[in-house]
Amino acid sequence: MAGAPGATSRNMGWWGGPDVARARLVDDLRDSGRLTDPAIEAAFRAVPRHVFLPTMRAADAYQDEAFVIKTGPDGLPLSSSSQPAIMAIMLEQLGITPGQRVLEIGTGTGYNAALMAHLVGAPGTVVTMDIDEDLVAKARAKLDAAGYHDVIVVCGDGGFGEPGYAPYDRIIVTAGAWDLAPEWLEQLGPGGRIVLPLSVRGIQLSLALEREDGHWRSRSAFRCGFIRMAGALAGPEAFLPLGPQPGLHVHTDDGRPVDAGALYAALGGPATDVPSGVAVAGLGELGEADLWITVTQPDLVRLTITGGGPLRGTVLPLVPLGAMAATGLDGGPAGSLGVAALLPAQVQAQRVSGYGGFEVAVRGFGSGGLGLAGRLAGQVLAWDGLGRPGSSRLTLRAYPLDAPVDERPGQVILDRQHTRLALSWAAA
């Protein structure tokens, strides 16, 4: 699903018809600070989301939520209508101005393309493409019904871009990517910018990238969650069934094998919580600690666990759940399997100073879980001591694989098929 971690939603359908619900949604996005650009606010007020979600009651389409519009035979989502909060964030990252030429990878319902068509105006061009013929046909019909006849809708593999209308001023990818396609970068004109949800050790970050001295540099970064790309640029992070189905699924950050039986047994067994002594204001800040620990602990495997089943709501109170694992994961020495995840724990305000919210606890699973939980609790303390580095202080630089990488203290390097990613945090 396409959403912004930590964002909240509420059912607004009973408050009135679609026009009233749309106005309240935009007011909430603006008042929460997730929508600050007046032009983008005007687009959200003008474009009727309910036209792009015709199977829903019209007013209900204006909840600040992502809605699945197509699932696969395994029940996993294949496409969704993105959460308006993350759409607003990404459109602000994109920085569209009237008259620009924009390419969207991942059409979905067509709603985002309509918003961008409103922003570029009559002199501009919006090209949107999707690999799914059925989605493309439906999006074309919905765009026409909403009055956006000039949007160009293409069926094709977005991993290759759409050279027929290049060069573009802006490219936006609305499916989870594991790498930067060379075609996207080639099809961007001078001064171009690309915004995409890029997987960084299994955590997706919405990044705005621009050219800089032979590489691409991020200008902003926000945590997000999108359905992963299909086609030529699909990454190795395939979901594996975990336990009785329908139920949980898991993927690792680099697609390495998982002993699903041992992992499920560990998650279903005894769990131990280790308090960190660090309090955070909410789930958003907890996610920042999770991001920093995930990136700076390269010897551990990042797990993403999603779905339902008998474990949901018991030992797994937060699903989707991001966890770290050490050894025994691929059928090796299972006796040393350890899994640990950062979770919120309610605390008395006097136990911690300065933040209020909840304390970060680390829950350990498996025979090695207690030791791993203790290690991660120590990392939470280290994160706090460094001034709580988060996505707002993170810079990602993307280099060609054969290009030298500028050295920076504490930099983390991740190699992909086409690019080498270098991540570093600015000092507090």
Q: Which are the catalytic amino acids?
A: 82
Residue 163 neighbours by CB distance under 10 Å: 11
| C-alpha span between 59 and 154 (Å, rounded) | 30
Query: Where do we find the tokens 């779905």?
Result: 307
CA distance 223 to 86: 9
Distance from C-alpha of 284 to C-alpha of 404, rounded to nearest angstrom: 35
Residue type, 11: N
**CA pair distance 416, 180, nearest whole angstrom:** 9
